[in-house]
Structure 1
Amino acid sequence: MKKLYQFVKKLYKFFKISFRDKMILIEAFCITGMIRFAILFIDFSKIVKFTGNYKEESSEYLCETERFITKKVGWIVNTVSKNTPWESKCLVKALTAQILLKQKNISSTLYLGVTKNKQNKLIAHAWLRSGLDIITGEREKINFTEVAKFANHSRRKSL
């Protein structure tokens, strides 16, 4: 009964938001599914080719409109990731946000990091930065050592 109540509550919230935001949420949901599928069934070396230029970083400058979009994309990706029937952890979130930002011609950098847990096993984490803001994976990134970065340089349209 509690799960049904939570589902109805989420559905109610979904129908209260604008049509445009609904479409972006649905798009992000679909992208997370495709990325999760790719992570499970495609060699990571092939996936990484689409993330950007290795060992490069995107610009730290964003105009106010771009910053607004990046914040909204971060909210959308984090919201959708909590509600997928598949696992949508850090790498799925970072890649989804990167794709959504690229569609808006906003550059970003995907970071990969590692650390060891209490059992001395290597664990990984991914986070995405656009401008000066960490869009996904910010809370956890402090515990990880960066081992790779991939800049996605979007071409800005001249005004």
Structure 2
Amino acid sequence: MQILSVLTRKTKTFFKISNELKIEFLKAFFYTGFYRAFILFVPFNKLRKRMGKHKEESAAKETRDVYKIASHISWVVTLISSKTPWESKCLVQALTAQRMLKSKNISTTIYLGVRKEGNEMKAHAWLRCGEYYVTGGAIRDQYTVVAKFAN
């Protein structure tokens, strides 16, 4: 019964938000699913081509308006990623945010990093727009960059 009331409340909230925000949420939901499936079923070389130009970086600074948009997209992607029925971790989030920012002609850089934790290698991805880290940037210092892609 409680699940039904939560679902009802969330549905009402969704219908109260603006149409523009609804579209952004739906795009983020679709892109997270698309990129998750892409990661699972397509070789990395094909994914790499979608990520941008290898070994290049986007501009180090952007305008205040661009940072505002990047911050908003960061919020949308983070929120939707926590609600998807599939795993939407760092690489999925970075690719989703990159795609949404690219549609607004905003250039970004995806970084792929690794670190050794005991006997295991851990990987992480994060997205930068100017000086702002859109996704995954909070723990980027724990990883060594092995690849970067700019669009």
| TM-score band w.r.t. shorter chain | over 0.9
Unaligned runs of 5+ in 1: 153-159
Task: Report the TM-score, using the length of structure 1 for normalisation.
Answer: 0.89
1:40 to partner: Cα distance:
0.4
Q: Distance in 2 between matches of 1:35 and 1:2?
A: 32
Q: Which residue number in structure 2 is paired with residue 127 of structure 1?
A: 126
Q: Distance in 1 between matches of 2:8 and 2:116?
A: 40
1:4 to partner: Cα distance:
4.0
1:90 to partner: Cα distance:
0.2
For 1:8-157, list aligned pairs within 5 A: 8-118=8-118, 120-152=119-151
In the alignment, residue 28 of structure 2 is paired with which amino acid? A
Describe the shift of the 1:20–1:56 C-alpha distance in structure 2 as closer, same or farther (beyond 3 A). same
Task: Report the TM-score, using the length of structure 2 for normalisation.
Answer: 0.93
User: SS where residue 62 of structure 1 aligns?
Assistant: coil
1:15 to partner: Cα distance:
2.5
Higher helix residue share: 2
User: SS where residue 124 of structure 2 aligns?
Assistant: strand
Determine what percentage of the aligned residue pairs are the same residue. 48
User: SS where residue 133 of structure 2 aligns?
Assistant: strand
Q: Per-residue displacement from partner, 1:40-76 (whole Å, max 9, x unpaired)?
A: 0000111011111111110022122211110111001
What is the Cα-based RMSD across aligned positions, in Å? 1.4
Q: Distance in 1 between matches of 2:29 and 2:38?
A: 14
In the alignment, residue 38 of structure 2 is paired with which amino acid? A
1:126 to partner: Cα distance:
0.2
Q: Distance in 2 between matches of 1:22 and 1:50?
A: 26
In the alignment, residue 29 of structure 1 is paired with which amino acid? F
Q: Per-residue displacement from partner, 1:73-100 (whole Å, max 9, x unpaired)?
A: 1001001100001000000000000000
Q: Distance in 2 between matches of 1:82 and 1:9?
A: 17
Unaligned runs of 5+ in 2: none
